[in-house]
Copies of this chain bind each other. A is one copy, B any other.
Protein backbone atom coordinates (compact mmCIF):
# COMPACT_ATOMS: atom_id res chain seq x y z
CA UNK A 1 0.00 0.00 0.00
CA UNK A 2 1.13 3.54 -0.69
CA UNK A 3 -0.11 6.92 0.51
CA UNK A 4 -2.45 7.29 -2.49
CA UNK A 5 -4.01 3.88 -1.83
CA UNK A 6 -4.58 4.79 1.80
CA UNK A 7 -6.25 8.05 0.81
CA UNK A 8 -8.36 6.16 -1.71
CA UNK A 9 -9.41 3.72 1.02
CA UNK A 10 -10.45 6.77 3.07
CA UNK A 11 -12.41 8.08 0.05
CA UNK A 12 -10.18 11.17 -0.22
CA UNK A 13 -9.44 12.62 -3.69
CA UNK A 14 -8.09 15.98 -2.55
CA UNK A 15 -4.46 16.08 -1.37
CA UNK A 16 -1.19 17.85 -2.03
CA UNK A 17 1.94 16.26 -3.47
CA UNK A 18 4.99 17.70 -1.73
CA UNK A 19 7.96 18.12 -4.07
CA UNK A 20 11.50 19.21 -3.29
CA UNK A 21 10.69 22.93 -3.57
CA UNK A 22 7.67 22.53 -1.31
CA UNK A 23 9.57 20.63 1.38
CA UNK A 24 12.28 23.31 1.32
CA UNK A 25 9.66 26.02 1.84
CA UNK A 26 7.90 24.09 4.60
CA UNK A 27 11.19 23.38 6.35
CA UNK A 28 12.30 27.01 6.17
CA UNK A 29 8.96 28.13 7.60
CA UNK A 30 9.08 25.45 10.29
CA UNK A 31 12.60 26.45 11.29
CA UNK A 32 11.47 30.09 11.64
CA UNK A 33 8.50 28.99 13.78
CA UNK A 34 10.88 26.76 15.81
CA UNK A 35 11.82 29.82 17.93
CA UNK A 36 15.55 29.14 17.94
CA UNK A 37 15.26 25.37 18.38
CA UNK A 38 14.19 22.43 16.27
CA UNK A 39 17.64 21.52 15.00
CA UNK A 40 19.53 21.83 11.74
CA UNK A 41 17.19 21.88 8.70
CA UNK A 42 19.99 20.51 6.52
CA UNK A 43 19.78 17.22 8.42
CA UNK A 44 16.02 16.88 8.11
CA UNK A 45 16.13 17.87 4.44
CA UNK A 46 18.85 15.33 3.58
CA UNK A 47 16.41 12.64 4.49
CA UNK A 48 13.55 14.01 2.41
CA UNK A 49 15.90 14.46 -0.58
CA UNK A 50 16.91 10.82 -0.23
CA UNK A 51 13.35 9.50 -0.22
CA UNK A 52 12.33 11.77 -3.12
CA UNK A 53 15.41 10.68 -5.10
CA UNK A 54 14.33 7.08 -4.54
CA UNK A 55 11.04 7.94 -6.25
CA UNK A 56 8.93 7.81 -3.11
CA UNK A 57 6.04 10.22 -2.87
CA UNK A 58 5.27 12.68 -0.09
CA UNK A 59 1.53 13.35 0.13
CA UNK A 60 -0.09 15.82 2.53
CA UNK A 61 -3.75 15.60 3.48
CA UNK A 62 -6.17 18.00 5.13
CA UNK A 63 -7.08 16.81 8.66
CA UNK A 64 -10.79 17.25 7.91
CA UNK A 65 -10.56 14.27 5.53
CA UNK A 66 -8.99 11.89 8.06
CA UNK A 67 -11.49 9.22 9.20
CA UNK A 68 -12.16 9.17 12.95
CA UNK A 69 -11.03 5.59 13.51
CA UNK A 70 -7.68 5.44 11.68
CA UNK A 71 -4.45 5.02 13.66
CA UNK A 72 -1.71 7.61 13.20
CA UNK A 73 1.52 8.48 15.05
CA UNK A 74 4.34 10.98 15.11
CA UNK A 75 7.91 10.10 14.07
CA UNK A 76 10.49 12.42 15.62
CA UNK A 77 14.03 12.96 16.77
CA UNK A 78 14.46 13.37 20.54
CA UNK A 79 17.77 14.43 22.06
CA UNK A 80 20.43 17.09 22.07
CA UNK A 81 20.51 19.20 18.89
CA UNK A 82 24.28 19.50 19.05
CA UNK A 83 24.75 15.76 19.09
CA UNK A 84 22.47 15.44 16.09
CA UNK A 85 24.62 17.82 14.09
CA UNK A 86 27.58 15.52 14.65
CA UNK A 87 25.59 12.34 14.16
CA UNK A 88 23.22 12.59 11.18
CA UNK A 89 20.56 9.89 10.96
CA UNK A 90 21.05 6.66 9.11
CA UNK A 91 18.08 5.58 7.01
CA UNK A 92 15.61 3.19 8.54
CA UNK A 93 15.69 4.28 12.18
CA UNK A 94 12.29 5.95 12.05
CA UNK A 95 10.90 3.09 10.01
CA UNK A 96 12.07 0.78 12.77
CA UNK A 97 10.46 2.96 15.45
CA UNK A 98 7.15 3.17 13.55
CA UNK A 99 7.10 -0.58 12.75
CA UNK A 100 7.77 -1.46 16.38
CA UNK A 101 5.03 0.92 17.49
CA UNK A 102 2.65 -0.80 15.05
CA UNK A 103 3.64 -4.16 16.49
CA UNK A 104 3.13 -2.94 20.07
CA UNK A 105 -0.24 -1.43 19.20
CA UNK A 106 -1.23 -4.39 17.05
CA UNK A 107 -2.52 -1.92 14.43
CA UNK A 108 -1.07 -0.43 11.24
CA UNK A 109 -0.23 3.28 11.24
CA UNK A 110 -1.99 4.99 8.32
CA UNK A 111 -0.52 8.50 8.50
CA UNK A 112 2.18 10.54 10.21
CA UNK A 113 1.70 13.73 12.20
CA UNK A 114 4.68 16.04 12.72
CA UNK A 115 5.23 16.69 16.43
CA UNK A 116 6.44 20.27 16.10
CA UNK A 117 7.67 22.94 13.73
CA UNK A 118 11.40 22.38 13.51
CA UNK A 119 14.24 22.08 11.06
CA UNK A 120 14.53 18.38 11.87
CA UNK A 121 11.16 17.14 13.04
CA UNK A 122 9.08 18.76 10.30
CA UNK A 123 10.91 17.19 7.34
CA UNK A 124 11.45 13.97 9.32
CA UNK A 125 7.69 13.42 9.52
CA UNK A 126 7.48 13.83 5.73
CA UNK A 127 10.41 11.54 5.02
CA UNK A 128 9.10 8.87 7.37
CA UNK A 129 5.66 9.09 5.73
CA UNK A 130 7.21 8.60 2.30
CA UNK A 131 9.26 5.64 3.51
CA UNK A 132 6.23 4.06 5.14
CA UNK A 133 3.96 4.83 2.17
CA UNK A 134 1.46 6.85 4.21
CA UNK A 135 0.30 10.48 4.01
CA UNK A 136 1.33 13.33 6.32
CA UNK A 137 -1.57 15.12 7.98
CA UNK A 138 -1.55 18.95 7.87
CA UNK A 139 -1.28 19.38 11.66
CA UNK A 140 1.26 19.22 14.43
CA UNK A 141 1.31 19.32 18.23
CA UNK A 142 2.83 22.78 18.80
CA UNK A 143 3.06 25.07 15.70
CA UNK A 144 6.45 25.92 17.23
CA UNK A 145 9.23 23.87 18.84
CA UNK A 146 9.49 23.06 22.55
CA UNK A 147 12.16 21.12 24.46
CA UNK A 148 10.04 18.35 25.98
CA UNK A 149 7.89 15.56 24.62
CA UNK A 150 4.82 16.40 26.69
CA UNK A 151 4.63 20.07 25.65
CA UNK A 152 1.95 19.60 23.03
CA UNK A 153 -1.64 20.61 22.35
CA UNK A 154 -2.23 16.85 22.22
CA UNK A 155 -1.49 16.45 25.94
CA UNK A 156 -3.39 19.59 26.94
CA UNK A 157 -6.37 18.21 24.99
CA UNK A 158 -6.24 14.78 26.64
CA UNK A 159 -4.17 12.71 24.15
CA UNK A 160 -1.04 11.04 25.54
CA UNK A 161 2.46 10.30 24.28
CA UNK A 162 2.29 6.63 25.39
CA UNK A 163 3.15 4.21 24.05
CA UNK A 164 6.30 5.78 22.64
CA UNK A 165 8.93 3.66 20.89
CA UNK A 166 12.49 5.00 21.11
CA UNK A 167 15.26 3.53 18.93
CA UNK A 168 18.84 4.27 18.01
CA UNK A 169 20.81 3.63 14.83
CA UNK A 170 22.12 0.31 16.15
CA UNK A 171 18.49 -0.89 16.24
CA UNK A 172 18.17 -0.80 20.00
CA UNK A 173 14.53 -0.39 20.98
CA UNK A 174 12.84 0.97 24.12
CA UNK A 175 9.05 0.99 24.43
CA UNK A 176 7.74 3.52 26.93
CA UNK A 177 4.19 3.03 28.16
CA UNK A 178 3.28 5.34 31.02
CA UNK A 179 -0.46 5.73 30.50
CA UNK A 180 -1.46 9.34 31.11
CA UNK A 181 1.84 10.31 32.76
CA UNK A 182 3.41 12.25 29.90
CA UNK A 183 6.05 13.90 32.09
CA UNK A 184 7.36 10.44 33.04
CA UNK A 185 7.24 9.43 29.36
CA UNK A 186 9.45 12.45 28.59
CA UNK A 187 11.76 11.55 31.50
CA UNK A 188 12.13 7.95 30.29
CA UNK A 189 12.53 8.96 26.64
CA UNK A 190 15.17 11.55 27.57
CA UNK A 191 17.09 8.98 29.63
CA UNK A 192 16.91 6.47 26.79
CA UNK A 193 18.35 9.10 24.42
CA UNK A 194 21.20 9.72 26.87
CA UNK A 195 21.85 5.97 27.19
CA UNK A 196 21.98 5.73 23.38
CA UNK A 197 24.65 8.46 23.28
CA UNK A 198 22.56 11.63 23.12
CA UNK A 199 20.07 11.08 20.30
CA UNK A 200 17.04 8.87 19.84
CA UNK A 201 14.40 8.39 17.15
CA UNK A 202 10.88 8.01 18.44
CA UNK A 203 7.47 6.96 17.18
CA UNK A 204 5.15 8.69 19.59
CA UNK A 205 1.65 10.01 20.22
CA UNK A 206 -0.25 7.16 18.61
CA UNK A 207 -3.78 8.50 18.22
CA UNK A 208 -6.91 8.15 16.15
CA UNK A 209 -8.08 10.42 13.35
CA UNK A 210 -10.72 11.77 15.72
CA UNK A 211 -8.04 12.73 18.25
CA UNK A 212 -5.95 14.37 15.54
CA UNK A 213 -8.88 16.63 14.70
CA UNK A 214 -9.80 17.38 18.33
CA UNK A 215 -6.36 17.95 19.80
CA UNK A 216 -3.88 19.05 17.11
CA UNK A 217 -2.79 22.42 15.84
CA UNK A 218 -4.79 22.22 12.62
CA UNK A 219 -3.12 23.38 9.39
CA UNK A 220 0.21 23.83 11.14
CA UNK A 221 2.00 22.58 8.01
CA UNK A 222 0.16 25.08 5.82
CA UNK A 223 1.19 27.85 8.18
CA UNK A 224 4.85 26.80 8.04
CA UNK A 225 4.61 26.48 4.28
CA UNK A 226 3.12 29.99 3.90
CA UNK A 227 5.85 31.45 6.12
CA UNK A 228 8.61 29.65 4.24
CA UNK A 229 7.20 30.59 0.84
CA UNK A 230 6.90 34.26 1.87
CA UNK A 231 10.52 34.40 2.97
CA UNK A 232 11.74 32.56 -0.16
CA UNK A 233 9.74 35.01 -2.33
CA UNK A 234 11.25 37.95 -0.46
CA UNK A 235 14.72 36.58 -1.14
CA UNK A 236 14.00 36.15 -4.85
CA UNK A 237 12.30 39.55 -5.22
CA UNK A 238 14.70 41.46 -2.94
CA UNK A 239 11.82 42.31 -0.61
CA UNK A 240 11.99 42.65 3.17
CA UNK A 241 11.70 39.04 4.45
CA UNK A 242 10.42 40.15 7.86
CA UNK A 243 7.61 42.16 6.29
CA UNK A 244 6.68 39.24 4.00
CA UNK A 245 6.71 36.86 6.97
CA UNK A 246 4.36 39.13 8.96
CA UNK A 247 2.09 39.38 5.89
CA UNK A 248 1.99 35.60 5.55
CA UNK A 249 0.87 35.26 9.18
CA UNK A 250 -1.89 37.81 8.61
CA UNK A 251 -3.10 35.91 5.55
CA UNK A 252 -2.69 32.37 6.83
CA UNK A 253 -3.57 32.71 10.52
CA UNK A 254 -5.21 36.14 10.74
CA UNK A 255 -2.79 37.18 13.48
CA UNK A 256 -0.42 40.07 13.90
CA UNK A 257 3.27 39.43 14.63
CA UNK A 258 5.60 42.06 16.06
CA UNK A 259 8.98 43.22 14.80
CA UNK A 260 10.40 44.50 18.10
CA UNK A 261 14.19 44.66 18.01
CA UNK A 262 17.27 44.65 15.82
CA UNK A 263 20.60 44.03 17.44
CA UNK A 264 23.76 41.98 17.72
CA UNK A 265 24.68 39.32 20.21
CA UNK A 266 27.13 40.69 22.78
CA UNK A 267 26.91 37.97 25.44
CA UNK A 268 26.04 34.26 25.53
CA UNK A 269 25.80 32.50 28.86
CA UNK A 270 25.42 28.84 28.04
CA UNK A 271 25.44 25.41 29.63
CA UNK A 272 24.76 22.39 27.50
CA UNK A 273 24.87 18.69 26.93
CA UNK A 274 25.63 17.55 30.46
CA UNK A 275 23.71 14.86 32.33
CA UNK A 276 22.65 17.67 34.70
CA UNK A 277 20.91 19.68 31.96
CA UNK A 278 19.36 16.46 30.60
CA UNK A 279 20.91 17.06 27.18
CA UNK A 280 19.31 20.47 26.71
CA UNK A 281 21.03 23.57 25.40
CA UNK A 282 20.19 26.33 27.86
CA UNK A 283 21.22 29.78 29.01
CA UNK A 284 20.76 33.50 28.37
CA UNK A 285 21.72 35.79 25.49
CA UNK A 286 22.15 39.56 25.51
CA UNK A 287 21.78 41.63 22.32
CA UNK A 288 22.76 45.25 21.93
CA UNK A 289 20.51 47.32 19.67
CA UNK A 290 21.66 48.49 16.23
CA UNK A 291 20.14 50.90 13.63
CA UNK A 292 16.82 52.24 15.04
CA UNK A 293 17.38 50.26 18.26
CA UNK A 294 20.78 51.69 19.17
CA UNK A 295 21.04 52.28 22.91
CA UNK A 296 18.56 49.51 23.78
CA UNK A 297 19.27 46.02 25.11
CA UNK A 298 17.42 42.74 24.59
CA UNK A 299 17.77 39.72 26.82
CA UNK A 300 16.62 36.26 25.74
CA UNK A 301 16.37 33.19 27.97
CA UNK A 302 16.53 29.85 26.18
CA UNK A 303 16.13 26.13 26.95
CA UNK A 304 16.77 24.67 23.49
CA UNK A 305 14.18 27.22 22.24
CA UNK A 306 13.94 30.94 22.99
CA UNK A 307 11.58 31.31 25.92
CA UNK A 308 11.50 34.84 27.36
CA UNK A 309 12.33 38.22 25.83
CA UNK A 310 13.03 41.37 27.80
CA UNK A 311 13.83 44.70 26.12
CA UNK A 312 15.45 47.26 28.41
CA UNK A 313 14.39 45.06 31.31
CA UNK A 314 10.73 44.97 30.28
CA UNK A 315 9.11 41.59 29.52
CA UNK A 316 7.92 41.52 25.89
CA UNK A 317 7.29 37.82 25.20
CA UNK A 318 6.69 34.69 27.28
CA UNK A 319 6.08 31.05 26.36
CA UNK A 320 4.13 29.62 24.65
CA UNK A 321 4.25 32.73 22.41
CA UNK A 322 6.91 32.55 19.72
CA UNK A 323 10.22 34.39 19.49
CA UNK A 324 12.11 34.29 16.18
CA UNK A 325 15.54 35.87 15.83
CA UNK A 326 16.08 36.28 12.10
CA UNK A 327 18.77 37.52 9.79
CA UNK A 328 17.32 40.81 8.48
CA UNK A 329 18.59 40.22 4.93
CA UNK A 330 17.67 36.56 4.41
CA UNK A 331 15.03 35.83 7.04
CA UNK A 332 17.13 32.82 8.09
CA UNK A 333 16.53 31.95 11.78
CA UNK A 334 19.37 32.15 14.29
CA UNK A 335 19.28 28.93 16.35
CA UNK A 336 20.33 28.74 19.98
CA UNK A 337 22.58 25.74 19.30
CA UNK A 338 24.73 27.49 16.69
CA UNK A 339 24.49 31.22 17.50
CA UNK A 340 27.74 33.07 18.08
CA UNK A 341 28.90 36.32 19.58
CA UNK A 342 28.48 39.10 17.02
CA UNK A 343 25.51 37.59 15.12
CA UNK A 344 23.02 40.25 14.02
CA UNK A 345 19.32 39.54 14.10
CA UNK A 346 15.85 41.00 14.05
CA UNK A 347 13.51 39.76 16.76
CA UNK A 348 9.98 38.90 15.66
CA UNK A 349 7.25 37.87 18.13
CA UNK A 350 4.28 35.74 17.09
CA UNK A 351 1.19 34.83 19.13
CA UNK A 352 1.02 31.13 19.91
CA UNK A 353 -1.83 29.16 18.35
CA UNK A 354 -5.04 29.33 20.42
CA UNK A 355 -4.83 25.58 21.16
CA UNK A 356 -1.47 26.24 22.86
CA UNK A 357 -2.91 29.03 25.01
CA UNK A 358 -5.48 27.13 27.05
CA UNK A 359 -5.28 27.19 30.84
CA UNK A 360 -3.76 23.69 30.80
CA UNK A 361 -1.29 24.86 28.15
CA UNK A 362 -0.10 27.81 30.24
CA UNK A 363 0.31 25.44 33.18
CA UNK A 364 2.28 22.88 31.15
CA UNK A 365 4.47 25.18 29.06
CA UNK A 366 4.02 28.70 30.37
CA UNK A 367 6.85 30.66 32.02
CA UNK A 368 6.41 29.09 35.49
CA UNK A 369 6.85 25.58 34.10
CA UNK A 370 10.31 26.59 32.87
CA UNK A 371 11.23 27.94 36.30
CA UNK A 372 10.71 31.65 35.65
CA UNK A 373 8.75 33.58 38.27
CA UNK A 374 6.49 35.32 35.74
CA UNK A 375 2.80 35.10 34.91
CA UNK A 376 1.91 34.52 31.28
CA UNK A 377 0.63 37.59 29.45
CA UNK A 378 -0.23 37.26 25.74
CA UNK A 379 2.36 38.81 23.43
CA UNK A 380 -0.22 41.14 21.84
CA UNK A 381 -0.88 42.70 25.28
CA UNK A 382 2.83 43.11 25.96
CA UNK A 383 3.32 44.81 22.57
CA UNK A 384 -0.01 46.59 22.12
| Count, chain A residues at interface, CB 8 A | 21
**A177, A187, A194 interface centre (most CB from chain B within 10 Å):** A177
Task: Tell me if A170 is interfacial: C-beta within 8 Å of chain B.
Answer: yes
Which residues from B are CB-within-8-Å of A177?
172-175
Contact among B174, B181, B191 with A194 in the assembled complex (CB-CB below 8 Å): B191
Which residues from B are CB-within-8-Å of A188?
172, 174, 191-192, 195
**Is the beta-carbon distance between A179 and B172 smaller than 8 angstroms?**
yes
Contact string against B for A residues 176-214, beta-carbon threshold 8 Å, 1 for contact and 0 otherwise: 111101001001100110111000000000000000000
Chain B residue nearest in CB terms to A183: B195
**Is the beta-carbon distance between B172 and A174 smaller than 8 angstroms?**
no
Alpha-carbon separation in the docked complex, A239 to B48 (Å) = 76
Copies in the assembly, this chain = 2
Which residues from B are CB-within-8-Å of A196?
184
Task: Tell me if A171 is interfacial: C-beta within 8 Å of chain B.
Answer: yes
Binding site secondary structure of chain A: mixed
Task: Tell me if A354 is interfacial: C-beta within 8 Å of chain B.
Answer: no
Task: Tell me if A292 is interfacial: C-beta within 8 Å of chain B.
Answer: no
Task: Tell me if A275 is interfacial: C-beta within 8 Å of chain B.
Answer: yes
**Is the beta-carbon distance between A181 and B172 smaller than 8 angstroms?**
yes
Chain B residue nearest in CB terms to A191: B191
Which residues from B are CB-within-8-Å of A187?
195
Q: A187-B195, A194-B191, A195-B191 are in contact. Are A179 and B174 (CB under 8 A)?
A: no
Min CB gap A197→B, angstroms: 10
Alpha-carbon separation in the docked complex, A246 to B188 (Å) = 45
Which residues from B are CB-within-8-Å of A192?
188, 191
Min CB gap A3→B, angstroms: 29
Which residues from B are CB-within-8-Å of A179?
171-172
Alpha-carbon separation in the docked complex, A256 to B174 (Å) = 44
Min CB gap A163→B, angstroms: 8
Min CB gap A92→B, angstroms: 15
Chain B residue nearest in CB terms to A165: B175
Alpha-carbon separation in the docked complex, A329 to B275 (Å) = 46
Chain B residue nearest in CB terms to A185: B172
Which residues from B are CB-within-8-Å of A104?
104, 175
**Is the beta-carbon distance between B173 and A184 smaller than 8 angstroms?**
no
Alpha-carbon separation in the docked complex, A181 to B196 (Å) = 11
Alpha-carbon separation in the docked complex, A172 to B171 (Å) = 23
**Is the beta-carbon distance between A178 and B173 smaller than 8 angstroms?**
yes
Min CB gap A248→B, angstroms: 41
**Is the beta-carbon distance between B184 and A172 smaller than 8 angstroms?**
yes
Q: A191-B191, A192-B188, A195-B188 are in contact. Are A170 and B181 (CB under 8 A)?
A: yes
Q: Name A's B-contacting residues (CB within 8 A).
A: 104, 170-179, 181, 184, 187-188, 191-192, 194-196, 275
Give me 19 A-to-B residue pairs in the complex whose CB atoms sit less than 8 angstroms apart, sorted by A's number: A104-B104, A104-B175, A171-B179, A172-B177, A172-B178, A173-B176, A173-B177, A174-B175, A174-B176, A174-B177, A174-B188, A175-B175, A175-B177, A184-B195, A187-B195, A188-B191, A188-B192, A188-B195, A275-B275
